[in-house]
Structure 1
Amino acid sequence: MTEDTIDYFYSIRSSFTYLGAARLNAMARKYGVVIRHYPVDLGKVIEAYNSLHDPRPSDRTYAGARAYEKFPARERYTQIEYQRWSDLLGIPIQLDPKHHYGTRELPSGVVIAAQAMGLNADRLSHDVLAALWRDDRDIADKAVMRELIAGAGLNVDPETLCQTALRQETQAQLQSNTELAVERGVFGSPFYIFRDVPFLGQDRLFFLETEIARTQES
């Protein structure tokens, strides 16, 4: 019997991915489902959709929804949502971490490389997300990543994993994940796909669990 999987598309710098990561891991353990990690460059995913599906004139780059995405009130409201979910779930979060924005090649690469090596990418991915959104650490810093790898108990040399993360073939996988996300209709983070059924956002984990439970009962 083929093992069921959750295809897990996300940005390693996504706040709501962090808020859902521990619950997703617990769900996978509960139901014996494998999480297949697909770290992506979410900005490139969104740009691909804009170029493929955006009917607006090219001289109105920030018309409509794009302007809405950049609207300061939306950013303020997003922080309110962070606090609401943090309070509800009992998961601490930094509302505006100074390291929010940065490169994703190293932190995405360590998850991709760890998964390829058969290591516990579930634990590592969660720890990287928590380092940013709970502890406001610079996850693009190799020293930080080495510490997180060591703390995850992966039985691998942290420096070796960091080096593997930045190799051309690992970074090519990050690009491939990003392209696959567009092909499969992913348009946000986190995005879960179970048996071709999509679920966008950590606030949809209840529905994902319901679907997994239903399939296991049938």
Structure 2
Amino acid sequence: MSEVTFYFDFSSPYGYLAAERMEAFESRVGVTVTWRPFMIGAAFKQTGQSPLLSQPIRGTYFRHDMERCARLQNTPFHIPENFPYAALVPTRAFYWLESRSPMLARKFAKDIYRGYFADGLDMANPENVFAAASRHSINVSEMRAAVENQRWKDHTRTVTEEAISLGAFGSPFFFYEDEPFFGNDRLEQLAQWISLRKETAGSQSD
């Protein structure tokens, strides 16, 4: 199967909406998706961006757009009180968990997202992150140690630097081969691009 890389930040509303569509996208398009949470704040520093809702005029529009997009894809959603937040703990926890079980790491990621954007839990509070882990029978003591382990701190930094070096300036950001796509609203275009690339590759092999 071909592979798509999915970069996202756990405090990103559009990243959440995209995450809710990933399984159906994989099945429909015939690709595997590699999940790569990163720290979007580092990208903002380099590009001079600020969180969407804090931007004059644009913030009002994007709040409405986030709610509309969620409603159109039938995904529970509201803007949390503590928005945005620096998602270091869930990001480090994800990579520790992925090293053991990629599929469980995905389930954990979706639970973190839903807890934040659907249930209004403050995911800046590590206890809410660990509570999500316990719902999946993940060893919480081991996760607590992992998020303070230099290995996962360094790994999170490395993935973030890699994402920025590739050109990921927001969330969600997708790469198929060397082709970049930004935004939950680009998933259909990404699917079309993959189909085109597969057709081109097939004709060249005939």
TM class, shorter-length: 0.7 to 0.9
- Runs of 5+ unmatched residues, structure 2: none
| Partner residue, 1:115 | 98
| Partner residue, 1:97 | 80
8 Å CA contact 2:43–2:169 kept in 1: the answer is: yes
Q: 2:9 aligns with which of 8, 11, 20?
A: 11
Larger displacement relative to structure 2 (83-92 or 116-125): 116-125
Is the alpha carbon distance of 1:209 and 1:141 closer, same or farther for their aligned partners in structure 2, counting shifts above 3 Å? Answer: same
**Which amino acid letter does the alignment assign opposite residue 7 of structure 1?**
T
8 Å CA contact 1:112–1:170 kept in 2: the answer is: yes
Question: TM-score, normalised on structure 1?
Answer: 0.80
Separation of aligned partners in 2, 1:215 and 1:165 = 39
Query: Does 1:82 find its partner at 2:66?
Result: yes
Alpha-carbon distance, 1:70 to partner? 4.4
Q: Would you say how many aligned residue pairs link Structure 1 and Structure 2?
A: 198
Question: TM-score, normalised on structure 2?
Answer: 0.85
**Which amino acid letter does the alignment assign opposite residue 104 of structure 1?**
A
Residues 168-187 of structure 1 deviation map (CA, whole Å, 9 limit, x = unaligned)? 11011111111111210111
Where in structure 2 are the equivalents of 1:1-218 lying within 5 Å? 3-50=1-48, 70-94=54-78, 96-120=79-103, 121-151=105-135, 153=136, 156-216=138-198, 218=202
Alpha-carbon distance, 1:20 to partner? 1.2
Is the alpha carbon distance of 1:123 and 1:78 closer, same or farther for their aligned partners in structure 2, counting shifts above 3 Å? Answer: same
Residues 65-107 of structure 1 deviation map (CA, whole Å, 9 limit, x = unaligned)? 77x984332211111101211221111211x311223331111
**Which amino acid letter does the alignment assign opposite residue 99 of structure 2?**
A
Is the alpha carbon distance of 1:162 and 1:36 closer, same or farther for their aligned partners in structure 2, counting shifts above 3 Å? Answer: farther
Is the alpha carbon distance of 1:28 and 1:122 closer, same or farther for their aligned partners in structure 2, counting shifts above 3 Å? Answer: farther
8 Å CA contact 2:41–2:86 kept in 1: the answer is: no
8 Å CA contact 1:106–1:162 kept in 2: the answer is: no
**Which amino acid letter does the alignment assign opposite residue 141 of structure 1?**
N
**SS in structure 2 opposite 1:135?**
coil
Residues 12-65 of structure 1 deviation map (CA, whole Å, 9 limit, x = unaligned)? 110110111111232224455332222211111122234xxxxxxxxxxxxxx7
Alpha-carbon distance, 1:116 to partner? 1.8
Identity of aligned residues (%): 22
8 Å CA contact 2:11–2:86 kept in 1: the answer is: no
8 Å CA contact 2:53–2:63 kept in 1: the answer is: no
